[in-house]
Amino acid sequence: MFEYLKGTIEYKKGDYVALDVNNIGYKVNISLRTYDEVKKGDIVKFYIYNYIKEDSYKLIGFLHERDRKAFELLLGVKGIGMSLALSVMSTFDADTLGTIIASGDYKTLKRVPKLGEKKAQQVILDLKGKFKKLGNLFDQDNEIVNIFAIEDELYEALESLGYSKKEIESLVSKEEIMSFKTLEEAIKTVLRKVKY
């Protein structure tokens, strides 16, 4: 199982890239949005979703952890498989998807190829509460607070200070991260715990 892979893109082909990590080539499936963002020779870090079904094992890569989380949530919706979930992520990023789901805008969501109106409504029905907790939250002034971005940046900041992912998880819970309004507040809170 892989949490992430960091390496050089050797080539792009269709719906995947060949990623060279220490002279080992990994086939990483990606969304069309990601395909357009990367090019041969780029050094990239993909957050990996390990897709295992029967005798099939695929690595699905995302440039942002929040997009991987959105993909995971989509897979939990009845009738949404890997291909359709990737099609959704090819059309919208996690933040836009969260806004669409929060507002119940199935007409925009059904623009995704092969999704259709019924499945778009099912996605909104199943994920509205989950995206409220994990994605875009509104503060008292109705400003969007991007929890996904805060979590990504918090982990990156603490990892740069030498903390491992396991150490970070022991210092701050998902619930705490969802309560932070800014990255600065999150970092100060965690570092305060370290001191004591």
Distance CA 91, CA 78 (A): 20
Sequence-distant (6+) residues with CB within 8 A of 27 are 16, 17, 18, 19, 58, 59
pTM: 0.67
Kindly report, residue by residue over 70-90, the tens digit of the pLDDT: 999 999 998 899 999 999 999
pLDDT of the residue at 147? 60
pLDDT of the residue at 165? 82
Q: Domain ranges for the chain, please list them.
A: 4-62, 65-134, 144-195
Residue with tokens 């991987």: 68
| 148 neighbors 135 (Cβ within 8 angstroms) | yes
Residue predicted with more confidence, 20 or 105? 20
Mean pLDDT of 48-63: 90
Kindly report, residue by residue over 114-173, the tens digit of the pLDDT: 898 999 999 999 888 776 655 544 343 334 445 666 777 888 888 888 888 888 888 888
From the CB of residue 8, how many other CB atoms can be counted at a distance below 10 Å?
A: 13
pLDDT of the residue at 134? 55
| 146 neighbors 155 (Cβ within 8 angstroms) | no
- Assign 62 a pLDDT band (cuts: 50, 70, 90): very high
Kindly report, residue by residue over 7-50, the tens digit of the pLDDT: 999 999 989 999 999 999 999 999 999 999 999 999 999 999 99
pLDDT of the residue at 39? 94
CATH topology assigned to domain 4-62: OB fold (Dihydrolipoamide Acetyltransferase, E2P) (2.40.50)
Partner residues linked to 9 by β-bridges: 19
CATH topology assigned to domain 65-134: DNA polymerase; domain 1 (1.10.150)
